[in-house]
Amino acid sequence: MAKVKTIRSLERGLRVLRSFQAQPICALQDIHRSTKIPKATLLRILETLQGSGMVTRRLGDGRYRISSDLLGISPRSTRFTRIAEVAGPVLDRLCRKVLWPSDLMLPASDHMQIAETSQPVTPFVLKVSPIGAHVNYVMSAVGRAYLAYCPDKEREEIIARLRKSRKLVDRLARDPKQLDRILDETRKRGYALRDSSFGGGTYGREPIDEGVSAIAVPLRDGKQVHGSINILWIRTAYSIEDFAATHLRDLQNAAAEIVAGLREPARKQVGSRQ
């Protein structure tokens, strides 16, 4: 009986998938170093795996990651990865339409965390916050958008944690009347704003002014809130009122599209990433 030949391209594809077992999120150079596959061939393999929904590519930094429906990790981590996968192409389209960048923020204990961003896509020069960066809850637009609409019990738990913080940016958590007023205004307005004294970044305990303004809305699905998204712009370019009048509807539509995408099976999202 003649020996059956193996399929070399399939062997290479499996080698790539095995590399993700050791490092679920990695750059092209990391995969090349691990598999020894030429980069041109590797790009074709990764494109094929993306098309099949087995691998996705992050918008914010171009790194590849194993798809959420293949991850053998905790339900919470899988859900957050799934949200980022769905949000990536939506934020890409939003940025290409309005030109200004957006971030996807997800809750993480005592802070919000950037899970995806279109900052590399914008033609404007803004300070780029990387995926994984921490953002304050009570001073940022994204944090306020989340707190305004998340379930009452979750909001109380978050604020209780922040009250124990010694960071300057968390001081508002110790003023419940003021914070409640801000969150009520956010609900009435329909979108959240940064505190006027908050620049955006936090390093150590002090806020850093980045010269940027933002508006944010929640990813709201009934009583559940998945996270929040914003649009950032250079503060001197527009007033908040003018910017919201022009782009709030685009931001709200993007949020609705992400929420709708999360209701679909993961593999149905494959075509939308192309």
pLDDT, tens digit, for every residue of 196-251?
777 654 433 444 556 889 999 999 999 899 999 999 999 899 999 999 999 999 99
- Give the residue from 88, 186, 82 showing the smallest Cα distance to 137: 186
For the stretch 63-113, pLDDT in tens is 888 876 665 544 556 778 899 999 999 999 999 999 999 999 999 989 999
Query: Rounded distance, CA 204 to CA 81, Å?
Result: 27
Query: Does the pLDDT of residue 7 top 80, yes or no?
Result: no
Q: Is 48 helix (H, G, I), strand (E, B) or coil?
A: helix
Domain with CATH 3.30.450.40 in the chain: 74-273
pTM: 0.81
With a CB cutoff of 8 Å and minimum separation 6, the contacts of 4 are: none
Architecture, CATH, for domain 16-68: Orthogonal Bundle (1.10)
Q: How is residue 228 written in tokens?
A: 């929040």
Rg of the chain on CA atoms, in Å = 20
Domain with CATH 1.10.10.10 in the chain: 16-68
Mean pLDDT of the 131-137 span: 91
Place of tokens 């979108």: 191
Q: What is the CATH number of domain 74-273?
A: 3.30.450.40
Mean pLDDT of the 35-39 span: 88
> CA angle, corner 76, sides to 158 and 86, nearest 5?
105
CB atoms inside a 10 Å sphere around CB 211: 11
